[in-house]
Amino acid sequence: MNIYPKLILDALEKVRYPGTGKNIVEMGMIEDDMRIEGNKVSFSILFEKQNDPFMKSLVKAGETAILTYAGENIDIKGNINIKTKPSPLPAPLDLLPGVKNIIAISSGKGGVGKSTVAVNLAVALAKSGYKVGLLDADIFGPSIPKMFHAEEAKPYMERIGERELIAPIEQYGVKILSIGFFINKKDALVWRGTMASNALKQLITDAHWGELDYFLLDLPPGTSDIHLTLVQTLAVTGVVIVTTPQEVALADARKGISMFTGKKINVPVIGLVENMAWFTPAELPENKYYIFGKDGGKQLSEEMHIPLLGQIPIVGNICEGSDSGAPVALNDSVTGEIFRLLAEKMVEQVEIRNKNLSVTKRVVAITKN
């Protein structure tokens, strides 16, 4: 039997890439490294992404098409190589060159006030004169637009040099982006992990964040692929963990801390925030009621040798501020002051870390010389 490349390519034209209506030949996926020796045929298929979900099934379909349409005696099984394009993402450090510090805000459990802390931290930092960005990476429950009274906002595209970039919304001196600006909640809920991660990557790399002192990421609760993708995509400076003093929340916070400091992710924990630390009724300002237990977060920070950035009480106006889209940190009230101090403590810890890091870098440089 006479086997020649066109015979093989004609057979491969029967294989369609799912969802595109196109076959793998017209999509340019067949590399020109085809070798034919006797009845043995080998070549490579090029995939855009390393985690293409159709990789295996397309190789199998390619084999079947060749055996069916080009000749059943062709030795093709196991001879189709897989090639992938190198990842287009630049190294993490080069992605956001204008951003000085990237801080992820995380919690083990939902509902502990992670987004509330992220929003008020961002506003308090901006009030103190820092350039601040906030990305709502809590893709399955984006709440930042509401908390910033920006639910109706529609970010527009901006031409920066050669590229069209998403312009973040600016509110209360903070640049914000959320997947909530682009899709409705119901759609986000059915997204798979990779779709969510890709959408987030786009909000980071295809947006015009510009110069920032602090870029805060409001992560989804728990531990997921999204956490891994984000810290692999970006050079995260450190993580702030939010917990309540309850034992169940502390157990999950502990897990979160271990994940971030573990080998796979290896990001420093800047500090812990104990939210809902006590309740003080407006009419009895001296009284503190430890509804979820006393000092649970403080003890966890001591146990894990992590700085305690602050203890935040349960106060009605924190909740009202979030609901009405006017974060309490905007005011010079007693509660506003709590968040100002929290931001100050975080900056202090970040600066200590950066200073230690630059000393380490200098030592490494001296050792190299």
Would you say 312 and 342 are in contact if contact means Cβ atoms under 8 Å apart?
yes
- Determine if 113 is a binding residue for ligand ADP (CB under 6 A): yes
Which region among 32-40, 188-196, 284-292, 308-316 touches ligand ADP (by CB under 6 A)?
Answer: 308-316
Q: Is 90 helix (H, G, I), strand (E, B) or coil?
A: coil
Which one, of 52, 51, 50, 33, lies nearest residue 42 by Cα? 33
Q: Is 132 in the site for ligand ADP (CB under 6 A)?
A: no
Which one of 41-49, 176-184, 314-322, 352-360 is the stretch in contact with ligand ADP (CB under 6 A)?
314-322
- Residue 116 near ligand ADP by CB under 6 A: yes
Query: Can you spell out the DSSP letters for 248-301?
Result: HHHHHHHHHHHHHHSTTT---EEEEEEEEEEE--TT-TT--B-TT-SSHHHHHH
Does position 115 bind ligand ADP by CB under 6 A? yes
Question: How many residues at the interface with ligand ADP, by CB under 6 A?
Answer: 17
Q: Which amino acid is at 237?
A: T
Does residue 223 bind ligand ADP (CB under 6 A)? no
Of 139, 304, 282, 121, residue with least CA distance to 216 = 121
Q: Is the dihedral of CA 353, 354, 356, 361 positive or negative?
A: positive
Task: With CA atoms as reference, report the closest residue to 33 among 72, 75, 79.
Answer: 79
Q: What's the closest the beta carbon of residue 281 comes to ligand ADP, in angstroms?
A: 13
Q: Give the residue, chosen from 111, 193, 262, 281, that forms a contact with ligand ADP under the rule CB under 6 A.
A: 111
Q: Which amino acid is at 300?
A: L
Dihedral over alpha carbons 168, 170, 173, 178 (to 10 degrees): -60
Q: Identify which of residues 155 and 220 has a Cβ nearer to ligand ADP in the complex.
A: 220
The tokens of 223 are what?
């531990």
* Position 229 contacts ligand ADP (CB under 6 A): no
Residue 244 contacts ligand ADP per CB under 6 A: no
Select from 104-112, 124-132, 293-301, 359-367 the region that touches ligand ADP (CB under 6 A): 104-112
Q: Which of 312, 329, 347, 350 binds ligand ADP (CB under 6 A)?
A: 312
> What is the distance in angstroms between the CA of the first residue and the CA of the last residue of the chain?
66
Smaller CB separation from ligand ADP, 262 or 316:
316
Out of 237, 243, 301, 322, the residue judged to bind ligand ADP by CB under 6 A: 322
State which of positions 259-298 bind ligand ADP (CB under 6 A).
275-276
Stretch that binds ligand ADP, among 42-50, 84-92, 250-258, 309-317 (CB under 6 A): 309-317
Select 238 or 245, whichever has its Cβ closest to ligand ADP: 245
Position of tokens 């040798």?
Answer: 305
Residue 78 near residue 70, CB atoms below 8 Å = no
Contact set for ligand ADP, span 142-181 (CB under 6 A): 143
Q: How far is CA 198 from CA 21, 28, 192, 239, in A?
A: 23, 23, 10, 21
Q: Assess 107 for contact with ligand ADP (CB under 6 A).
A: yes
Whole-number minimum distance, CB 306 to ligand ADP, in Å?
A: 18
From 118, 143, 106, 116, select the one nearest 318 (Cα to Cα): 116
Q: Is position 315 an interface residue for ligand ADP (rule: CB under 6 A)?
A: yes
Residues 116 and 318: beta-carbon distance below 8 Å: yes
- With H, G, I as helix, E, B as strand and everything else as coil, classify residue 180: helix
Residue range at the interface with ligand ADP (CB under 6 A); choices 10-18, 110-118, 152-160, 288-296: 110-118
User: Is the Cβ of residue 269 or residue 312 nearer to ligand ADP in the bound state?
Assistant: 312
CB of 13 to ligand ADP, least distance (A): 51
Tell me: does residue 243 bind ligand ADP (CB under 6 A). Answer: no
- Residue 246 binding ligand ADP, by CB under 6 A: no
Give the interface with ligand ADP as residue ranges (CB under 6 A). 107, 110-116, 143, 275-276, 312, 314-315, 318-319, 322
